[in-house]
Amino acid sequence: MLSKVVDFFMLWLMFSSWVFSVSATVSYDSKAIVINGSRRILLSGSIHYPRSTPEMWPDLIAKAKDGGLDVIQTYVFWNGHEPSPGNYYFEDRYDLVRFIKLVQQAGLYVHLRIGPYICAEWNFGGFPVWLKYVPGIVFRTDNEPFKAAMQNFTEKIVGMMKAEMLFETQGGPIIMSQIENEFGPVEWEIGDPGKAYTKWAAQMAVGLDTGVPWIMCKQDDAPDPVINTCNAFYCENFTPNAKYKPKMWTENWTGWYTEFGGAVPTRPAEDIAFSVARFIQNGGSFVNYYMYHGGTNFGRTAGGPFIATSYDYDAPIDEYGLLREPKWGHLRDLHRAIKLCEPALVSVDPTVTSLGSNQEAHVFSSKSGACAAFLANYDTKYSVNVTFGSAQYELPRWSISILPDCKTAVFNTARLGAQSSEKQMVPVTAAFSWQSYNEERPSADDQNVTVHDGLWEQIFITRDASDYLWYMTDVNIDPSEGFLKSGQDPLLTIWSAGHALHVFINGQLLGTVYGGLENPKLTFSNNVKLSPGINKISLLSVAVGLPNVGMHFETWNAGVLGPVTLNGLDEGTRDISKQKWSYKIGLKGEALNLYTIAGSSSVEWAEGSQLAKKQPLTWYKTTFDAPGGDEPLGLDMSSMGKGQVWINGQSIGRHWPGYIARGGCDACDYAGTYTDKKCRINCGEPSQRWYHVPRSWLKPSGNFLVVFEEWGGDPNGITLAKRTTTSVCADIYEGQPTMKRRGMLISRRTNRLKAHLWCPPGQKILKINFASYGMPKGSCGNFREGSCHAHKSYNAFQKNCIGRQSCSVTVAPEVFGGDPCPGRTKKLSVEAACSPETLAKAKYWL
Ligand code: GAL
């Protein structure tokens, strides 16, 4: 009997696995990715697991799902996973399997960009630095040592995913993978070896038999069956390299990265929505937002060089994990509208007709009766009324209206319907009580220095174990030197490949120079006081993240490559590059682990009146208790210059508020082609002032905070702040298309628009900061009255909202005391102040 049961069980197992393997499929055709037999319009967003904490992941993924995404896209971070050859790390922020399983639990798919070259503003583009020193290596070309290492890591990752049953065909969430990253432009430069490498990479990947499609982005010649995809701010004109491949957009940049010294880029939600609608109306079926949550370059993971610690990216979920409004909500509304169109979109190609000189209709009308239309106005200056079918539609400039039934506009890309909110960093702690320790400067004659004739390249020596490398040498000045009498100090000139340099002469800081993202190289040139006899020259060369993009990674270098010269001596110019130099990797404080409690006890710290202030190369430490509540936290470092910050032994990243944002920050108009030079903010201020402190890194009390400061700053200016919603806004046009929640359509004409305001749970509406029904200007946080304003604009809000967590007011002239400018299209802008948090609960709010 028992054997019969076992037989039956075995049979059932075989049958179910057969059913399973035939049902779980991912393929593609000319229209779309096909999952289990159905063509899908897929909306995807990049969330990079090491750029947040595992504790943040579930909430980020839930917010992505509520934002209407189907897929989470992530790179795989090779240098995080293989810190030394053959030693793998998949814990904590690098727990890739855990991250993918969380996405699966949320019911979303995964697009896994294995690379293993990833670019991503990540240190060395994701390559482990040890790879640079593999004999004979040439990166990203037809080079055996490189290909062997790349294949090894790719196999490792694919093997892990298979073992964990994570590919869709195994019942997992991964529906697609990526090999390489934007190799096309490199191939174009290097020619045949590049072509051979592309073929090899594609074959190698396909040979791994994942059961799901592979893509190569920015790779026009991606060999079959690999799909080539587009990365850009706009991709509507992209076509894949074969008729049987779908039109896919793997990176729609939602903003741009911040560099130290650069202004902070932002991209208007209206323009992102416009770009997506434009891509979909042209037959696109997969859109990924890069980034959906950018997060933080913790530790020394930022690349560049000069990439900031914040990788906020102006993404729909901000660096701290909070919804960025109205961007997140506007894209959620866009996604709902697109999903309503899905049956028509996947069935037919669009028919395009002109609606005017700069206007078009893209209509998807299927035999089965499904019909979706996109009405586009490309004009950057003028809104227009167009006739489509038997109705008239108002199309704001640079916008697309979406009509999921070819009749009713449920969404327009330029009309923000979502509530927006203003978030601020509100200080939470009493002043920190600091202690200081002056970093000991090594000397050329120290015991544990390495001595070498001539100058060494920095990364070769440090292997990137530290940002810092000391170069030290002695200069002998004969007492008979003429400058000693004339007082004409010699000129010291130092050429460095970057990225920053502090120059000390006989223990005194002579000066600091640094490059920038565009040109990391630097030259130091200064007159220098030298005494008769031995003079000590110590150069602290500082790397600020290794480059992440470009060709020939094996040739890149940093540090003082020379020449180093002294000009104005009796002999003329003395080249000191080739003489004896002593080298010391890293700071003494790093070697002593001063950023840990145990390590910090090995030195004497000063406090009170002895506390070092405005002194270069200083360590600071303090302890603090975690503030209550669960709002995200950040450190205001604006009183400091440059260095690194640790909390409880973990580095929250490099700080560099002393690097002020250059460039222009012009007024931002959503209309017109976006570039990363448009709509920038923070000019004349630090590129990055606040530094994210993950809540999960804190204990209730006794948290150990350590700052290493290179330039000199005042630690008493450092404060811990909570990221708090201070006000919420609604900004609504009369007659704007709207959708009821859960996707039901409302007629454009009969719908009574309502302004809804919600403060986060635990907060209440304290006050109406602004309300104007008419033609107000500006955006949440800086609304202004326009030429037309209803004088009773505030009344209804005062009455309905004050003291409540949420409220709504109908947007109609009679509510505001009559029509202030009849015959003109009006809007309502309102901003309400939220009280400070009273309950410390709520995960997030809609
Ligand atoms: C892309 C690249 C990404 C990222 C992006 C800029 O070209 O594929 O990894 O670097 O640029 O943020």
| Separation in Å, CA 705 to CA 211, 296, 553, 607, 656 | 48, 18, 35, 15, 17
Helix, strand, coil percentages in the chain from 3-state DSSP, rounded to 5: 20, 30, 45
Cα(297) to ligand 1 centroid in Å equals 15
What was the pLDDT predicted at 734?
82
Q: Which of 182, 481, 685, 734 is catalytic?
A: 182
What was the pLDDT predicted at 431?
87
pLDDT in tens, 442-475: 988 888 899 999 999 999 999 999 999 999 999 9
Q: Is 290 helix (H, G, I), strand (E, B) or coil?
A: strand
What was the pLDDT predicted at 739?
67
Cα(478) to ligand 1 centroid in Å equals 55
Does ligand 1 have an atom closer than 6 angstroms to the CB of 260? no
Max alpha carbon distance in the chain (Å)? 110
- For residue 418, give the amino acid letter: A
Atom of ligand 1 nearest to the CA of 119: 9
What was the pLDDT predicted at 444?
84
What was the pLDDT predicted at 7?
54
| Separation in Å, CA 34 to CA 92, 191, 228 | 34, 34, 16
| Mean pLDDT on 213-222 | 98
C-alpha–C-alpha distance, residues 483 and 532, integer Å? 10
Cα(217) to ligand 1 centroid in Å equals 11
What was the pLDDT predicted at 222?
98
**DSSP H or E stretch at residue 18:** helix 2-23
Q: How confident is the model at residue 842 (pLDDT cuts 50, 70, 90)?
A: very low
Name which residue leads in pLDDT, 212 or 837: 212
Cα(119) to ligand 1 centroid in Å equals 6
Atom of ligand 1 nearest to the CA of 549: 10
Cα(157) to ligand 1 centroid in Å equals 21
Asked if pLDDT for residue 6 goes beyond 50, the answer is: no
- The residue behind tokens 């400091």 is 640
Q: Which of 251, 270, 360, 590 is catalytic?
A: 251
* Positive or negative torsion for Cα 760, 764, 770, 774: positive
pLDDT in tens, 9-24: 444 544 444 444 446 8
Return the residue whose CA atom lies nearest to atom 9 of ligand 1.
Answer: 120
**DSSP H or E stretch at residue 40:** strand 38-40
Return the residue whose CA atom lies nearest to atom 6 of ligand 1.
Answer: 120
Q: How confident is the model at residue 64 (pLDDT cuts 50, 70, 90)?
A: very high
Return the residue whose CA atom lies nearest to atom 4 of ligand 1.
Answer: 120
Two structure tokens written together for 255? 């903003």
Cα(316) to ligand 1 centroid in Å equals 17
- The residue behind tokens 């190609």 is 349
| Mean pLDDT on 644-670 | 96
Sheet architecture: strand order including 703-709: 435-438, 618-624, 703-709, 643-647, 650-655
Cβ atoms within 10 Å of 508's Cβ, excluding its own: 9
- For residue 768, give the amino acid letter: I
Q: Quick check: 614 and 692 in contact, CB under 8 A?
A: no
Burial 81-99 (b: 16+ CB within 10 A, else e): bbeeeeeeeeeebbbbebb
pLDDT in tens, 388-413: 999 999 999 999 999 999 999 999 99
Contacts of 118 (CB under 8 A, 6+ apart): 75, 76, 77, 78, 125, 126, 181
- If one residue of 73, 75, 121, 257 were mutated to test the ligand 1 pocket, choosing by the most ligand atoms within 8 A of its CB, it would be 121
C-alpha–C-alpha distance, residues 415 and 399, integer Å? 9
Atom of ligand 1 nearest to the CA of 181: 8
Cα(846) to ligand 1 centroid in Å equals 30
| Separation in Å, CA 185 to CA 121, 182, 652 | 17, 7, 34
Atom of ligand 1 nearest to the CA of 217: 8
Cβ atoms within 10 Å of 525's Cβ, excluding its own: 13
Asked if pLDDT for residue 740 goes beyond 90, the answer is: no
Atom of ligand 1 nearest to the CA of 120: 9
What letter does residue 45 receive in the DSSP assignment? E
Q: Is 251 labeled as catalytic in the residue annotation? A: yes
Q: What is the 3-state secondary structure (H, E, C) of 507-544?
A: CEEEEEEECCCCCCCEEEEEECCCCCEEEEEEEEEECC
What was the pLDDT predicted at 666?
87
User: Among candidates 382, 825, 359, which has minimal Cα distance to 373?
Assistant: 359
Asked if pLDDT for residue 30 goes beyond 90, the answer is: yes
Does ligand 1 have an atom closer than 6 angstroms to the CB of 181? yes
Asked if pLDDT for residue 840 goes beyond 80, the answer is: no
- If one residue of 48, 75, 290, 548 were mutated to test the ligand 1 pocket, choosing by the most ligand atoms within 8 A of its CB, it would be 290
Return the residue whose CA atom lies nearest to atom 11 of ligand 1.
Answer: 120
Cα(138) to ligand 1 centroid in Å equals 22
pLDDT in tens, 245-299: 999 999 999 999 999 999 999 999 999 999 999 999 999 999 999 999 999 999 9
Does ligand 1 have an atom closer than 6 angstroms to the CB of 119? yes
Q: Is 371 helix (H, G, I), strand (E, B) or coil?
A: strand
Cα(127) to ligand 1 centroid in Å equals 15
**DSSP H or E stretch at residue 74:** strand 71-75
Does ligand 1 have an atom closer than 6 angstroms to the CB of 120? yes
User: Among candidates 729, 724, 713, which has minimal Cα distance to 778?
Assistant: 729
Q: Quick check: 655 and 706 in contact, CB under 8 A?
A: no
Does ligand 1 have an atom closer than 6 angstroms to the CB of 182? yes
Asked if pLDDT for residue 123 goes beyond 90, the answer is: yes
Asked if pLDDT for residue 38 goes beyond 60, the answer is: yes
What was the pLDDT predicted at 360?
98
What was the pLDDT predicted at 845?
34
C-alpha–C-alpha distance, residues 462 and 106, integer Å? 42
What letter does residue 421 receive in the DSSP assignment? E
Does ligand 1 have an atom closer than 6 angstroms to the CB of 121? yes
| Mean pLDDT on 645-650 | 98
Give me the count of residues in the chain.
Answer: 846
Return the residue whose CA atom lies nearest to atom 5 of ligand 1.
Answer: 120
* Threshold 0.85, pTM exceeds: yes
Cα(253) to ligand 1 centroid in Å equals 8
What was the pLDDT predicted at 445?
83
Does ligand 1 have an atom closer than 6 angstroms to the CB of 231? yes
What was the pLDDT predicted at 60?
98
Q: Quick check: 74 and 47 in contact, CB under 8 A?
A: yes
Cβ atoms within 10 Å of 407's Cβ, excluding its own: 15
C-alpha–C-alpha distance, residues 261 and 306, integer Å? 8
**Percent of the chain's residues with pLDDT above 70:** 94
Q: What is the mean pLDDT of the chain?
A: 93
What was the pLDDT predicted at 430?
75
| Mean pLDDT on 696-709 | 98
Atom of ligand 1 nearest to the CA of 256: 12
pLDDT in tens, 472-490: 999 999 999 999 999 999 9
**Percent of the chain's residues with pLDDT above 90:** 88
What was the pLDDT predicted at 839?
40
Instruction: Examine residue 116 and say whether the peptide bond preceding it is cis (omega within 30 degrees of 0).
Output: yes
Q: How confident is the model at residue 837 (pLDDT cuts 50, 70, 90)?
A: low
C-alpha–C-alpha distance, residues 495 and 452, integer Å? 18
User: Among candidates 534, 538, 536, which has minimal Cα distance to 477?
Assistant: 534
Name which residue leads in pLDDT, 841 or 770: 770
| Separation in Å, CA 655 to CA 50, 356, 658, 741 | 19, 52, 9, 43
pLDDT in tens, 762-808: 899 999 999 999 999 988 888 999 999 999 999 999 999 999 999 99
Name which residue leads in pLDDT, 113 or 21: 113
| Separation in Å, CA 468 to CA 463, 583, 589 | 11, 11, 11
Atom of ligand 1 nearest to the CA of 118: 9
Cα(137) to ligand 1 centroid in Å equals 24
- Residues forming a β-bridge with 527: 491
What letter does residue 174 receive in the DSSP assignment? E
Asked if pLDDT for residue 52 goes beyond 50, the answer is: yes
- If one residue of 251, 297, 675, 676 were mutated to test the ligand 1 pocket, choosing by the most ligand atoms within 8 A of its CB, it would be 251
Asked if pLDDT for residue 723 goes beyond 60, the answer is: yes
- The residue behind tokens 């996405």 is 103
Q: Is 360 labeled as catalytic in the residue annotation? A: no
pLDDT in tens, 624-642: 999 998 899 999 999 999 9
What was the pLDDT predicted at 716?
96
User: Among candidates 812, 629, 746, which has minimal Cα distance to 333?
Assistant: 746
Cα(173) to ligand 1 centroid in Å equals 24
Two structure tokens written together for 662? 């250059």
Cβ atoms within 10 Å of 243's Cβ, excluding its own: 8
